[in-house]
Amino acid sequence: MPKKKPLVVVTRKLPDVVETRMRELFETRLNEVDRPFSQADMVEAVKTADVIVPTVTDRIDAAILSQAGPNLKLIANFGNGVDNIDVVTANNRGIAVTNTPGVLTEDTADMTMALILSVPRRLAEGIKVMEQGEWSGWSPTWMLGHRIWGKRLGIIGMGRIGQAVARRAKAFGMSIHYHNRRRLPEQVEEGLEATYWDSLDQMLARMDVVSVHCPHTPATYHLLSGRRLKLMKPGAYIVNTARGEVIDENALIRQLESGALAGAGLDVFEHEPAVNPKLLNSDNVVLLPHMGSATIEGRIDMGEKVIINIKTFMDGHRPPDRVLPSML
């Protein structure tokens, strides 16, 4: 008698090639209309599924997990971060959690570099001028920005993405500095020509551009607090393609409005999808709708990782991308 296929509930629309493969391997319940799951939808899913495939916008907390049925054994997150999942509670209930690390590195680094270039060079302002038909011709003193060649870049979180950003920024002539929980091996530092700062405060005070690449955890919530943002040089820029919660957004807005910071490039927000109107109305901020990892190639790679994690787990083996509480 053939082995029964596991019921896999997918919370959002995924690329067609990924969904087709899932249907071939599993009994799959897809979200054809791509409507975000409500809390009631998620409760129904955890009660009935063997595997749930959520995304970063799905909150699976202790209250949701307390209603999980006996069949739920795996949460295969479609995303690198797992701050949307209560991993500790899941682990205590015998539910494994996996993610999709590594596949978004180059895409997110590309978008980070785009923001590092666009904010000092005032690209968003230039686009707005063109769209509104306000350009009256070239002038030697109009729309002057700042070159990034020779500027100091401070990277907060020197994992895969941070290092990929460092490689790009180095090619643009920037001086690479970083703060990380653990210092990189000497040969990695030499390859990136990167300077390690044990003190985040001291690094912030000396950088021209600061780029955030750490996950959102209780320890990193508002890591860039109002106090720390005030340490940054007047004329400095901040870029965030990681998680909005890492920066105290209200404090950031105050620094931008006062001119204490020259500008910001943000792909993530503290309360997304809500965006503070003061950011929307600011001329010295470039805002993107959380699209740092949005490439076809990246999404398909993520889906393939999800499938491998599910199949490996259901075959009785440890999935390659399992996330344990000790890893957080």
Q: Which positions are annotated as active-site residues?
A: 243, 272, 290
C-alpha to C-alpha distance for 87 and 98, rounded to whole angstroms: 10
Radius of gyration, CA atoms only, the chain: 22
Burial of residue 102, with CB atoms counted within 10 A of its CB: 0-12 exposed, 13-18 middle, 19 or more buried: middle
Tell me if 44 sits within 8 A of 88, measured CB to CB. Answer: no
In the numeric block, which tokens belong to residue 292? Answer: 């740092």
User: How many angstroms separate the CA atoms of 82 and 53, rounded?
Assistant: 12
105-118 helix and 160-171 helix, angle to the nearest 10 degrees: 50
Q: Could you write out the DSSP letters of every residue in 235-256?
A: T-EEEE-S-GGGB-HHHHHHHH
Q: Which of 207, 218, 125, 223 is nearest to 169 (CA)?
A: 207
Contacts of 230 (CB under 8 A, 6+ apart): 255, 260
How far is 305 from 100, CA to CA, in rounded Å?
A: 6
Helices 123-131 and 105-118, packing angle to 10 deg: 70
Sign of CA dihedral 316, 318, 320, 322: positive
